[in-house]
Amino acid sequence: MRSWLDRFQPLGRALMLPIAVLPVAALLLRLGQDDVLAIPFIAAAGQAIFDHLGLLFAAGVAVGLARENHGAAALAGIVCYLVATEGAKPLLAVPPDALVGATDTTRDLFVGAWKAKQIAKLSVPAGILSGLIAGALYNRYSAITLPSYLGFFAGRRFVPIVAGVAGVGLALAFGGGFPLFEAGVDQLSHWIIAAGPVGLFLYGLLNRLLLVTGLHHILNNLAWFLVGDFHGATGDLKRFFAGDPTAGAFMSGFFPVMMFGLPAACLAMYRAALPTRRKEVAGLYLSLALTSLLTGVTEPIEFTFLFLAPLLFAVHAVLTGLAMVTMDLLGAKLGFGFSAGLFDYVLNYGLATRPLLLLPVGAVYALVYYGVFSWAIRRFDLKLPGRDADAAAILPATSAGGGDRAEAFAAALGGPDNLASIDACTTRLRLHVDDPGRIDRPALAALGARGVLDLGGGSVQVVVGPEADQLASALRAVTRRPEAGNTAANATRGISPGSDDQNDLNRLLAGLDRSAVDQAGRRLVIPQAADHLDHRLQQCAEVRAVARVGEDLHVFLTLPAGMLLRPVDPASAGPPSK
């Protein structure tokens, strides 16, 4: 049984897919404004993305959660979202003050506009919930079989249908319970705003502490898309781009840390390196510092010292919380479409309030970070990159995603046959491995990995930087090669290539109690199957689809089971896979 952390992490990863479109939305919206290029249609193009964020979350979260990231899940998420939001509108009770000034001919327009504005307040939560439902429905029903006269609607085509039915339930909940939802969101907003500096400090602190688990994305979504309301735009980020001068409290404090503090920490780590290795690590630290300064991507830096000096990371989290409070007390309100880097600072300068205050605050933070890191590295002799004379040379990341580097990563992760599933978020590989003990951490570090997180249950994360998604794609290509998984697995079992034992399906089932596996035509039912087994079975050429029902795994084959499975000696059958 997976831990609660392992269950929540896919949501954090899935949220990054729709969030990835925000930079282009912010770019178009700003370039089209009167104080920049004054091109209305470009501004309207960017605004369209913000106006339909709920729809994007519905599709993106569904794809992020679905096995194989299949597009049918996105369609199901969209169907669920549209049914839920449009179906809820007729259930809303319009207050009399919303119709002030309406005539008989305009009354319907007033009613429609009011209902659309109210539902828009819950668009992002509704989108996330629709995506969660659609992703779960895809994983459960994408391989469903129906009677022959309904065969057209079987499999993946069934998922959008059942998602629409689920959307009806959401419509009833949103429409009938809208006053409760609205009151809950308003109460959350008022509580956070009333918390003042304490609330901002806790947000900044938890944002960094939750970075280890990847759950900080969930916290960010609450602050950026729910807190506050400005002419129908909800959330700190959306309100900032809608022109709310009070918005930006949950973004401003990141700028001193990401543009000044962490780059200064990189300088401290470089200067603390052994003289004989400074030239080797100069490119590494320069790359990390520029990435943080320009784009606001900081995880590669943070994971460099997180495990070596947890107390230093805790100080970093406290400083982030203090930066939130400091910028708010000074009245500086900054915002971003991607992260708190120089690009976003310059692009959104015209929307910011007192943006020049970032410079003195940032200078102070640079001095603080440089001093704290320089002292801590020497005081505790932290073995950061460049301070270990016997460490392997760090390979450059310029070939990120290339075949050779992907093969090296696969080997360091225990071989292609050890990788049950491969995914990625902004800066991390999110993996499920059969045996975490086979992972070679020093080899990963030599390849440029900044950290390895073993979350239990075979769930592993490897911090590699912004090239994570490219590297994940290259790793999938490596594991799909016929020789990648089979050769390694067969070598460990003494099986020669070309033998009958090289059949993928039979190899995966070899360790199961075959007497407990139910065979029915082209379907196998494996009771109490391990979580990782479905991912491995999906890669078999003999398998058409896999569906999990409770703890049982239903495997749909391309041919009858009797033609594909070899008889197994009962004495050689292993115990069931738990």
Q: How far is CA 295 from CA 257, 281, 336, in A?
A: 12, 21, 10
Q: Which of 80, 266, 425, 540 is catalytic?
A: 425
473 vs 406: CA distance, rounded Å: 9
**CA 338 to chain CA centroid, nearest Å:** 14
Question: Tokens in use for 324?
Answer: 């939130």
- Tokens, residue 269: 């780590």
163-180 b/e (C-beta count within 10 Å ≥ 16 → b): bbebbeebbebbbeebee
Rounded to 10 degrees, what is the CA torsion of 137, 139, 143, 146? -20
Q: 553: exposed, middle or buried (C-beta count within 10 Å: 0-12, 13-18, 19+)?
A: buried
Beta bridge partners of 568: none
The half-sphere exposure of 536 on its side-chain side, counting CA atoms within 13 A, is 22
CB 324 within 8 A of CB 203: yes
Helices vs strands, H then E, count in the chain: 25, 10
* 266 is a catalytic site residue: no
Based on the number of CB atoms within 10 Å of its own CB, is 78 exposed (0-12), middle (13-18) or buried (19 or more)? buried
Distance from C-alpha of 300 to C-alpha of 105, rounded to nearest angstrom: 59
408 Cβ contact partners less than 8 Å away, ≥ 6 residues apart: 443, 447
- List Cβ neighbours of 319 (8 Å cut-off, separation of 6 or more): 257, 261, 365, 368, 369
Residue 90 gets which letter from DSSP?
G
- How far apart, in whole angstroms, are the C-alpha atoms of residue 102 and residue 108? 9
Question: In sequence order, what DSSP letters do the residues of 313-353 get, joined into one string?
Answer: HHHHHHHHHHHHHHHHHTT-B---SS-SSHHHHHHTGGG-B
User: 467, 397 in Cβ contact below 8 A?
Assistant: yes
The helix (run of H) or strand (run of E) holding residue 295 is helix 278-295
| Residue 452: burial class (beta carbons within 10 Å; 0-12, 13-18, 19+) | buried
Cβ atoms within 10 Å of 20's Cβ, excluding its own:
15
Q: How far apart are CA 389 and CA 400, in angstroms?
A: 26
From residue 108, how far is each of 20, 94, 225 by CA, in Å? 37, 11, 29
Based on C-alpha coordinates, what's the Rg of the chain? 26
Q: Smallest Cα–Cα separation from 352: which of 337, 372, 373?
A: 337
Positions marked active-site: 425
